[in-house]
Chains A and B, each alone.
Chain A
Amino acid sequence: MSLAAQVLVRRGPVTVDVALEVADGEVLAVLGPNGAGKSTLLRVLAGLLPPDGGRVAVDGTTWDDVAARVHLPAHRRPLGMVFQDHLLFPHLSVLENVAFGPRTRGASRAAARTAAAAWIGRVGLDGLGGRRPGQLSGGQAQRAALARALVGDPALLLLDEPLSALDARTRLAVRAELRRHLTDYAGSAVLVTHDPVDAMALADRVVVVEDGRVVQAGTPSDVARHPRTDYVARLVGLSLLPGTADGLTVRLDGGGVVAVAVPADGPVLVAVRPESVALYLSRPEGSPRNAWPLTVAGATPHGATVRCELDGQVPLLADVTATAFAELGLAPGSPVWAVVKASEVAVYAR
């Protein structure tokens, strides 16, 4: 059992052209900014949108094959889908919602209700089966939606931003439960999200999609440590600077030189974590090899720290404590010296 898909969709300005393979029991996260084509991809896998080209096969059965004019409509695909805002049918009770799939797929009324009740218990909604979706909290509704998607033991599970409509605290709880259910789930799962934390926490593998194309694929930790594009870097907090390495120095494409601790050669990406950047009002004397005069372009409070956007030859993000930010008297437009130890700079080949 597995998913193999190669999908081409032309929609307005964005052409989605993505190839995916998801093994049995594996969770693949499709990570990307809004408008990258993630949801389009998911709609194709679900059969809600016929692709303009490519193939989709699950467990060796062809669901889409444009060249062979094969298109299995959504309702004949054994899949479950969880939508961002749960989309529980408002006129049905939770139990009827969860029993909807088994009923339409031919189960008897009693069997459908038994299966639905079991799943309602598994997602921790015991006793709420008689409620209408409008009477549930956001987290409960999303759990019910998960039960509705998983009840038929589908071959493919599609999750479209399943946590993004939830508030921060609920999200933590539901994410942990979702993780547990995904671990138990035997089929292939595809999770679409723009939140890297979801991807990191839930997925075995991540593909990053931008402008309809896969720009990076790998394990979550791999992608976090070696982001290939600005978007991924920003997501995981890294500043990502393209340049050309020559031994222990990297000449950046945007001007400026960065000293690194590990020798490299040729085109590279230099990654700097915002917490490893220190700010000074004047040029400091000391061991750090990298010191650049920059300008504070913006500042965003970020928990106990302030994330400063620095502009100049070496554009960086820097996290400083709120106290330090105030004591230095920083404001947008302030000139600062940004200092980074060479050993804090990661380098990897482009």
Chain B
Amino acid sequence: MRRARTPAPLLVPAALAVVFLVLPLAGLLIRTPWSQLGTLLTAPGVGQALRLSLVSATLATAVSVVLGVPLAWVLARSRARGRAVLRALVTVPLVLPPVVGGVALFLVLGRQGIVGSWLAETTGITIPFTTTAVVIAETFVAMPFLVISVEGALRAADVRYEDAAATLGADRWTTFRRVTLPLVAPGVAAGSVLCWARALGEFGATITFAGNFPGTTQTMPLAVYLALQRDPQAAIVLSLVLLVVSVATLLLLRDRWLGRGAAA
């Protein structure tokens, strides 16, 4: 199908927007010290930060799936009152500045915090400035992405399949496991990828609640920020790694969201 030519008043700003979005990434690629790439990537801190980032983002995603999928089901299917309020509360972390999230987590789970002080007294466990804190901060920020995505998939799924399962003797839990969950699996997968990518890039809540200790809480974004101040070359290389991971995420999602538009 032939499309109408784009009018100039739209074309110019659109082109500017593309330049604005692409230029910094191009700059990153241009300034990458390709010859020293190997050395910089194998520097001791880099592997450590990358491993910590991957592990904590994966754990945060796992926690988000285990807690978030049931929450999405409640938001999509239960007829309980106050669902609208619940949904608003759940999505607050989406719009909340991550630093504020970190402060809030600190106030609750910190050593003087409401839950944190009780936890420290009874079990001797303190959360802040540990890898656990990194996972908690990332989960707090990233889980809403998963919940929203899975809730959308559940709403779009045909509930009559659940009726059919019921007439075949499946109780609600069996129906959820054997019918509903497989039907919304693509939504869960997409939500998990989004969640994981968001957790991987988490900075504000992490540095506020977990601090910046190499090996335990220094994730890639923190390492990039720190490196920029003493070794810009290293910062560029670390950024490149995150860029590669992000693009890979985008490719994973392409079939689901970009594919339809691109094919049309």
Contacts and interface: CB of A to CB of B under 8 A. Distances in A.
Interface of A: 43, 46-48, 73-77, 79-81, 83, 87, 89-92, 100-101, 104-105, 148-149, 152, 158
A100 B168 contact: yes
Contacts of B183: 89-91
Nearest to A74: B166
B62 to A, nearest CB: 23
B160 interface: yes
A48 B167 contact: yes
B170 interface: yes
B178 interface: yes
A104 B160 contact: no
B171 A87 contact: no
Interface string B161-195: 10111111111101100110011010000000000
Given A89-B179, A91-B182, A91-B183, A101 B164 contact: no
B178 A75 contact: no
B170 A89 contact: no
A79 B183 CA distance: 24
B169 A101 contact: yes
Contacts of A89: 161, 164-165, 179, 182-183
Contacts of A152: 169
16 contacts: A46-B166, A46-B167, A48-B166, A74-B167, A75-B165, A75-B169, A75-B171, A76-B169, A79-B167, A80-B167, A89-B183, A90-B183, A91-B183, A92-B182, A100-B165, A104-B168
Contacts of A43: 163
Given A83-B160, A87-B161, A90-B183, A100 B178 contact: yes
A91 B161 CA distance: 11
A75 B163 CA distance: 9
A83 B162 CA distance: 12
A87 B166 contact: no
A80 B172 CA distance: 17
B168 A148 contact: yes
A57 B64 CA distance: 45
Nearest to B168: A101
Interface residues of B, number: 20
Contacts of B164: 81, 83, 87, 89
A100 B41 CA distance: 52
Interface in B7-60: none
A163 to B, nearest CB: 18
B163 A104 contact: no
Contacts of B163: 43, 46, 48, 74, 83, 87
A307 to B, nearest CB: 35
A81 to B, nearest CB: 4
Most chain A CB within a 10 A radius of its CB, from B163, B172, B179, B182: B163
A47 B168 contact: no
Given A83-B160, A89-B161, A104-B174, A75 B182 contact: no
B77 to A, nearest CB: 15
Contacts of A75: 165-172, 174-175
Contacts of A90: 183
A73 B171 CA distance: 9
Contacts of A73: 166, 171
Contacts of B169: 75-76, 101, 104-105, 152
Most chain A CB within a 10 A radius of its CB, from B158, B163, B165, B169: B169
Contacts of B172: 75
B176 to A, nearest CB: 12
